[in-house]
Amino acid sequence: MKPFKLYAITGEEFHPGKPMIEVMEEAIKGGCDIIQLRDKKSPRREVLAKAKALRELTLRYGVTFIVNDYIDIALAVDADGIHLGQDDLPLADARKIVGGKIIGISTHAIEEARQAERDGADYIGVGPIFPTKSKEDVVAPVTTSYVRQVAAEIAIPFVAIGGIKLHNVDQVLGAGARRICAISEIVGSPDIQGTCRSFLDKINSAAASP
Ligand code: TZP
Ligand code: MG
């Protein structure tokens, strides 16, 4: 998959009254290089309509588009990939369906990260690092010590997620993360482009002084 640094996930509850497509366009203009549609509440036809709109947007800007949970919708709109949790379809079965598309897997412990790598995941999510209000099936925060473990051991790309804000991202980068994912801090920001640029400045500085 293409290299990436800043991964934004939709979270419409964080920007009431603002159209999701406009919010995600701001995130792309701010430098996000992966956009994920994550909508666990809307009827499937609405999720499909959002996926179509985001596919069009991400193609226009040349950024990667991932659909969370819905493999069929990802295929229907020709998304670049899917993101699956530990309770979704197993990776080997998902791979049979999506072929060479990107598959990302959420992991919460090093055994899950190892398994995802063995199974051929293209990237893993590592989190939630900090407490977050954006995920309902709450797993206890994994803390930055899990980031350190993954950075030391896992060869495929990993992205840190969960409660990451501009004010605490340095801790995550200090633990070895070089890719950051956020929902509320990005989509809920009054200055989405500025927030994304600040995240990227921090990621780039961390990468420059390892
Ligand atoms: N997976 C682990 S934490 C999380 C997901 C989808 C939510 C991240 O949202 P936020 O608002 O950046 O904490
Ligand atoms: Mg899922």
32-81: per-residue pLDDT in tens? 999 999 999 999 999 999 999 999 999 999 999 999 999 999 999 999 99
Ligand nearest to the CA of residue 14, numbered in listed order:
1
Annotated binding-site residue? 171 = no
**DSSP codes of every residue in 191-205:** SHHHHHHHHHHHHHH
- Active-site residue, 135 included: yes
Nearest ligand atom owner, CA of 135: 1
Confidence at residue 209, expressed as pLDDT on a 0 to 100 scale? 82
State how far the Cα of 93 lies from the Cα of 165, in Å rounded to an integer: 35
Share of the chain above pLDDT 70, in %: 99
Q: What is the pLDDT of residues 125-177, one digit of tens each?
A: 999 999 998 887 668 999 999 999 999 999 999 999 999 999 999 999 999 99
List Cα–Cα distances, 21 to 11, 26, 56, 57, 119, in angstroms.
11, 9, 10, 8, 33
Using 50, 70 and 90 to split pLDDT, how confident is the model at 210? low
- Ligand 1, CB cutoff 6 Å, lining residues: 106, 127-128, 132, 134-135, 161-164, 182-185
Does residue 106 carry a catalytic annotation? yes
Q: What is this model's ipTM?
A: 0.98
